[in-house]
């Protein structure tokens, strides 16, 4: 089922009573190491979270990235693919590669600099030849834009997708992802003007607790409906959104991860809500990487 109206979403959720069918969190994850000190000029056109006219300190970014991989390894096995200097946004692989129960999904990126990443033979070969996954390749489609789990936040337990439309994902891309991930229900909506990815304004921790920046949605009824179906939410203000507090992930049922900057932005009541829902908060310093316009969630491609 594919819906675009908050009322239809609430009705579908109530009517279908979608049960927990799968694990809510991943069994492993992969990262791609930073390999360029440049910021992608094409990406800067529609990513206002990028640091203007600032290059990365590559050694510092690599150090932070390696420490992130080490810390996440406490929750799931983590592997890191080498970066490519020709792909400065390659350290954010979740927009290009995603998985769903025996399938590798390859996204269709808006910008040419990111479409290069989709052709990586090593990532494709790992999933095809080592894990035996089938590949669903959207990267050559000319009729859509679909930046995978940047645009699509998924309740993996129930098979519900939350897809935000922007220049990085159109309606055709949303429908293609609905099919590729095998979702039972997708709720598709417009992001606020200037927002590029859903996973900057919305995180869903292990299918239990949404973190929502209400000003990231064009229609305020959308985040309200999402909060309603989960019975609670942590609401983020504009400053916390820009600190990447919405760019969080739970790789294990009892721990949520976000960057150190994001964690520092949270108020005691918000931290208490996260703990009340059974999550310890893990964090990693990523301020150098965040200059590239993404944060911890963007660095993590989940393996289901």
The pLDDT tens digits of the residues spanning 170-185 come to: 999 999 999 999 999 9
Task: Name 256's bridge partners.
Answer: 281
Residue with tokens 């429908």: 175
Q: What's the pTM?
A: 0.95
At residue 53 the predicted structure's pLDDT band, cuts being 50, 70 and 90, is: low
Instruction: Compute the average pLDDT of residues 156-160.
Output: 96
pLDDT at 55: 84
Mean pLDDT of the chain: 95
pLDDT at residue 44 greater than cutoff 90: no
CB count in 10 Å sphere of residue 127: 21
What tens digit of pLDDT does each residue of 78-119 get?
999 999 999 989 999 999 999 999 999 999 999 998 999 999
- How far is 121 from 272, CA to CA, in rounded Å? 44
Range list of β-strands (E), 73-157: 78-81, 97-99, 103-106, 134-137, 152-155
pLDDT at residue 66 greater than cutoff 90: yes
Instruction: Compute the average pLDDT of residues 22-37.
Output: 94
Which residue segment(s) compose the domain that 106 sits in? 2-303
Q: At what angle do helices 6-16 and 221-230 cross, to 10 degrees?
A: 20
pLDDT at residue 261 greater than cutoff 70: yes
pLDDT at residue 212 greater than cutoff 90: yes
pLDDT at 18: 83
Q: Are 253 and 206 in contact (CB under 8 A)?
A: yes
pLDDT at residue 230 greater than cutoff 80: yes
Coil, helix or strand at residue 26: coil
- How far is 98 from 104, CA to CA, in rounded Å? 6
Q: Which two tokens stand for residue 72?
A: 């996440």
- Rounded percentage of the chain residues whose pLDDT exceeds 90: 89
Residue with tokens 């993404």: 294
Pairing of strands 249-252, 255-259: antiparallel
In which region does residue 69 sit, left (phi positive, over 0), alpha (psi from -120 to 50) or beta (all else)?
Answer: alpha
**Total number of domains in the chain:** 1
pLDDT at 211: 98
User: What CATH number has the domain bearing residue 224?
Assistant: 3.75.10.10
pLDDT at 260: 98
Instruction: Compute the average pLDDT of residues 264-282.
Output: 98
15-24, 118-127, 158-167, 257-266: segment of lowest average pLDDT: 15-24
pLDDT at residue 21 greater than cutoff 90: no
What tens digit of pLDDT does each residue of 159-168 get?
999 999 999 9
At residue 19 the predicted structure's pLDDT band, cuts being 50, 70 and 90, is: confident
């Amino acid at each position: 089922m594919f819906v675009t109206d908050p009322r239809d979403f609430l009705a579908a959720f109530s009517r279908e009573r979608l049960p927990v069918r799968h694990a809510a969190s991943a069994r492993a994850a992969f990262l791609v190491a930073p390999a360029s000190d440049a910021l992608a000029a094409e990406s800067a056109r529609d990513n206002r979270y990028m640091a203007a006219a600032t290059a990365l300190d590559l050694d510092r970014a690599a150090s932070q990235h390696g420490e992130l991989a080490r810390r996440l390894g406490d929750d799931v096995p983590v592997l890191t693919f080498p970066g490519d200097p020709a792909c400065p946004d390659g350290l954010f692989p979740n927009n290009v590669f995603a998985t769903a129960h025996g399938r590798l999904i390859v996204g269709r990126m808006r910008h040419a600099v990111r479409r290069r990443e989709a052709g990586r033979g090593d990532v494709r070969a790992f999933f095809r030849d080592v894990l035996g996954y089938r590949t669903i390749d959207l990267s050559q489609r000319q009729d859509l834009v679909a930046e995978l789990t940047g645009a699509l936040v998924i309740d993996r337990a129930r098979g519900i997708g939350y897809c935000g439309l922007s220049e990085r994902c159109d309606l055709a891309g949303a429908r293609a992802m609905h099919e590729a991930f095998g979702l039972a229900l997708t709720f598709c909506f417009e992001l606020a003007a200037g927002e590029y990815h859903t996973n900057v304004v919305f995180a869903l921790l292990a299918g239990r607790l949404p973190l929502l920046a209400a000003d990231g949605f064009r229609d305020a009824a959308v985040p309200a409906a999402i909060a309603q179906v989960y019975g609670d939410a942590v609401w983020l203000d504009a400053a916390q959104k820009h600190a990447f507090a919405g760019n969080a992930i739970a790789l294990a049922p009892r721990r949520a991860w976000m960057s150190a900057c994001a964690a520092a932005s949270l108020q005691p009541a918000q931290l208490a809500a996260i703990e009340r829902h059974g999550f310890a908060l893990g964090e990693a310093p990523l301020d150098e990487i965040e200059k590239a316009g993404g944060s911890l969630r963007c660095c993590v491609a989940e393996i289901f």
